[in-house]
Amino acid sequence: MNYFSSDFKLGILGGGQLGKMVLYNTRKFDIQTLVMDGSNEAPCKIACNEFTLGDLMDYDAVYNFGKQVDVLTIEIENVNVDALETLEKEGIKVYPASKTLKTIQNKAKQKLFYVDNNIPTAPFSRFAYSSEIKEAINHGGLSLPFVWKSAQFGYDGQGVKIVRSIKDLEGLPNVECIAENLIPFKNELAVIVARNVSGDIKSYPVVEMEFHPEANQVEYVICPARIDAEVAEKAEGVALKVSEAFDHVGLLAVEMFQTEEDEILVNEVAPRPHNSGHQTIEASYTSQFEQHLRSILDLPLGRTDSKVGGVMVNLVGAEGYTGNVVYENIETIMGMEGVTPHIYGKQQTRPFRKMGHVTIVNEDLNEARRIAEEVKKSIKVISK
């Protein structure tokens, strides 16, 4: 297939920020794009050739949209997988595959997949309903503390709770879920693996998610991670194994824990461009967004190493502010060395809503990390 011809059409399910950043790269290659999203305010609307308003979970909407394109990809996991399966049978190229998405969409299935494929992950129990958990504890089949995770729709930290006492079980939705051992870890790491249709594989350097010591929230993504070469190699090996197990096409972001004993355990994966790869725009030879396109269009993969050190800071809505967003001190941070803000263009802020990110690049990673802290201290996402 000639991707650089005007007949070729790429479809993207989901019209959010990740899709928008993929779309900028389709323009570089002059690829015709169709996007479907459930909101008429989707950021992608302005950047694609054709926009379709449609429910991503609706079989007919996804099927009818997919029938128009040559290659179909996603920028969010929660789409109607049955429709993707039908489209695949009818010859549309769907990356990631419906089979992969089906496994990833359900956290219990995802965990079982790791076990089946001999991929290290934290021990867990699976429950059809949260209400069964108390009984398991009472019978000694499960011990506190543990991490409760809803099996379905656990997008972006939603549907996760640390359960330290029976009391913490109160208020949990009574859904299919898992209870995962709470593993003390030194670092949370991530590796993005790119694999094209022909099976060529490249992985990005291991990144480190640095947490706020009190808030238990990722504050910085640091590339490359400040860890021993051995640990980095091990993490990369695990990530590659996950990608191969899925027979994955496209990007696969593999989030992992580095335990106190330097074991690597897979936490979860995302089969698309990922928050842990935003710094690749400024820091890497090939951005994750361009790499995703190269992968699904079966083009040669680009270099994944870094030009310079990169640190990414998420811009989230400050606590106590809801309404029309104002980026206080954005001009101040733009005066700092190697700082690029990426504002997502959402009109309304609310506490912890992802409103953008800021990348800081520097030939010296420690200097980038220092400036990132200045950025974090200066900018405030508030409302007017």
The least CB distance from residue 285 to a copy of itself, in Å, is 6
Q: Is 379 annotated to bind ligand?
A: no
Binding site residues, a copy of itself, CB under 8 A: 2, 4-6, 20, 24, 27-30, 46-49, 285-286, 290, 294, 299-300, 302-303, 307-308, 324, 326-327, 330-331, 334-335, 337-345, 347, 361, 363
Q: Is 268 annotated to bind ligand?
A: yes
230 half-sphere exposure, CB direction, 13 A CA radius: 3
Q: Would you say 111 or 202 has its CB closer to a copy of itself?
A: 202
Q: How many CB atoms lie under 10 A from the CB of residue 53?
A: 13
Residue 220 CB partners (closer than 8 Å, separation 6+):
209, 210, 311, 312, 313, 369, 372, 376
Q: Is 87 annotated to bind ligand?
A: no
Q: Is 376 annotated to bind ligand?
A: no
Q: Would you say 136 or 301 has its CB closer to a copy of itself?
A: 301
> Nearest-CA neighbor of 105 among 53, 161, 56, 168?
56
Q: Is 196 annotated to bind ligand?
A: no
Cβ(34)–Cβ(49) below 8 Å: yes
Helices 81-89 and 59-66: crossing angle in degrees, nearest 10, is: 40
Q: Is 267 annotated to bind ligand?
A: yes
Q: Would you say 234 or 346 has its CB closer to a copy of itself?
A: 346
The least CB distance from residue 366 to a copy of itself, in Å, is 17
The least CB distance from residue 48 to a copy of itself, in Å, is 8
Q: Would you say 344 or 352 has its CB closer to a copy of itself?
A: 344
Q: Is 182 annotated to bind ligand?
A: yes
DSSP string of 229-256, one letter each residue = HHHHHHHHHHHHHHHHHHT--EEEEEEE
Supply 369's token pair.
Answer: 């990390």
Q: Would you say 116 or 331 has its CB closer to a copy of itself?
A: 331
Supply 375's token pair.
Answer: 């950025």
The least CB distance from residue 312 to a copy of itself, in Å, is 14
Question: Residue 101 gets which letter from DSSP?
Answer: H
The least CB distance from residue 272 to a copy of itself, in Å, is 20
DSSP string of 324-349, one letter each residue = EEEEETHHHHHTSTTEEEEE---SEE
Please give the annotated binding residues for ATP, written as ranges.
107, 149, 180-183, 188, 267-268
Please give the annotated binding residues, written as ranges.
107, 149, 180-183, 188, 267-268
